[in-house]
Structure 1
């Protein structure tokens, strides 16, 4: 079993003992998403990189739901979604700051030889591989667009 998955299971036990409803529910949903990933297609155990991708996907879902709830005037539900996203963020690697993100984008652009927006897909592919879950996809996309539009 991966180290991250063991940590998530230990955190679940700890949150259950502390009777933290939001944290317990969120971790249970995360473990269900991990189990679903393990059982779909060929049965295999997911590694830490797969779990980081699952966590990022779940955080994105929570943030998008929170935005929709806010638009529809349901701030209570939006706050709940954001609280769940905050719990999930504990399982992500340290996020890149703006300087490190700019350096990563510069490196990806140099690696691909891109010089126009038409080559953004190539740069995004290289940058996403280098970022390895340390930056949100939307933030990475905005940085690549800014660099290529100069």
Structure 2
């Protein structure tokens, strides 16, 4: 994945796409920060799944900022966030739709033998292991909670 970012940066620089250059640089800076943090803790550099986690966090930040800017009537800043969001999401795997998320949750619940809300952590861990970067775990968490409490 790291090579993808390097290639994207080179292409954007050649094309003179300033927004893409700055966004890819933001991504690489975030990854370097996390690598330095990991090295300080005696861990290896980030794996592809961990990189997807960083990207997912960046997407969530952009979505929150976008909402704030739209609510404040700052169309210029909102447009910048929209562009950055699109660029970051271009590096992520395709997101699962609701039916796929529900099926994945059902499979994870069956596999882990989860029967109550106490088992929610097991289900989340199984989903994060298999579907990093492919689903919104905030929404998945609510769906798991509903499923395990017998509401879905």
Specify the TM-score bucket, using the shorter chain as the normaliser. 0.7 to 0.9
Q: CA deviation at 1:142?
A: 3.6
Tell me the distance in 2 between the aligned counterparts of 1:81 and 1:142: 26
Once the two structures are superposed, what CA deviation does each residue of 1:96-147 show, in whole Å capped at 9, x if it has no partner?
A: 2233211110012223333444543443233222322211222322432443
Equivalent in the alignment of 2:105: 105
Tell me the distance in 2 between the aligned counterparts of 1:88 and 1:8: 10
Q: Structure 1 residue 12 and structure 2 residue 9: aligned?
A: yes
Structure 1, unmatched stretches of 5+, are none
Q: Structure 1 residue 129 and structure 2 residue 126: aligned?
A: no
Whether contact under 8 Å (1:104, 1:130) holds in the other structure is: no
Equivalent in the alignment of 1:49: 49
Tell me the distance in 1 between the aligned counterparts of 2:113 and 2:96: 23
Q: CA deviation at 1:34?
A: 0.7
Once the two structures are superposed, what CA deviation does each residue of 1:50-109 show, in whole Å capped at 9, x if it has no partner?
A: 211111111111111111112222222122112101100111112222332111100122
Q: Secondary structure in 1 aligned to 2:101?
A: helix
- TM-score under structure 2 length normalisation: 0.84
Equivalent in the alignment of 2:143: 143
Tell me the distance in 2 between the aligned counterparts of 1:9 and 1:98: 33
- TM-score under structure 1 length normalisation: 0.85
Tell me the distance in 1 between the aligned counterparts of 2:104 and 2:34: 29
Tell me the distance in 2 between the aligned counterparts of 1:139 and 1:120: 13
Whether contact under 8 Å (1:105, 1:127) holds in the other structure is: yes
RMSD, aligned CA? 2.0
